[in-house]
Chains A and B, each alone.
Chain A
């Protein structure tokens, strides 16, 4: 947290790191690399790759799908283009917390999954990435519809 001497004396005491106070936390399910954390955290890099395949046949007959076959899993992440930052005009953030507490009475979450993160506390850097490819697969034995009729 950045500090400054220009701040009024009455505000000096409150320039602390905020603490979260939660009364009740009801969480039903955390699955599939989901995270629930109470406390501070430094850096997180959560990553999810999924091939969501909806099949007519069972998985043994349908064959395997490979992440390498699809561009979405190898595509580079978009970059923020900020000419001001490149010209050295960076942004200085100064935060001032009037209260050193965040109060929440009750939190009720039914489910967290797929590299999701539930966090009570402070963190420094959080980066998460999800890449999901959806595929619907039908049997080849199905006769094709006549010309002009939709496939489905």
Chain B
């Protein structure tokens, strides 16, 4: 068993300037018991596609297709 004793002394901040908070980031003035932030960010070389974007076949319709863009266009694989 480890005992972790935290003493929070007086906290007084003059000015906070933030340009942007994004991608499940967290900005808080206050106390929290538990914080877990996960971020997965993928920009590999193979993310450059030349031609129609269909790196994998379209899943079966009953398998809950989560469509990212709502343009209504269909995949034209040639």
Contacts and interface: CB of A to CB of B under 8 A. Distances in A.
Interface of A: 17-18, 20, 22, 34, 40, 46-48, 51, 53, 59-70, 72, 75, 77-78, 84, 89-99, 102-140, 142, 151-152
Interface string B42-78: 1100011111111110110001111111010111100
Interface residues of B, number: 67
B12 to A, nearest CB: 4
Interface in B8-59: 8-43, 47-56, 58-59
Interface of B: 1-43, 47-56, 58-59, 63-69, 71, 73-76
Contacts of A69: 54-56, 59
18 contacts: A20-B29, A63-B73, A64-B53, A64-B67, A64-B69, A89-B2, A98-B10, A104-B14, A106-B15, A110-B20, A111-B20, A113-B20, A120-B29, A121-B29, A126-B37, A127-B38, A137-B50, A142-B50
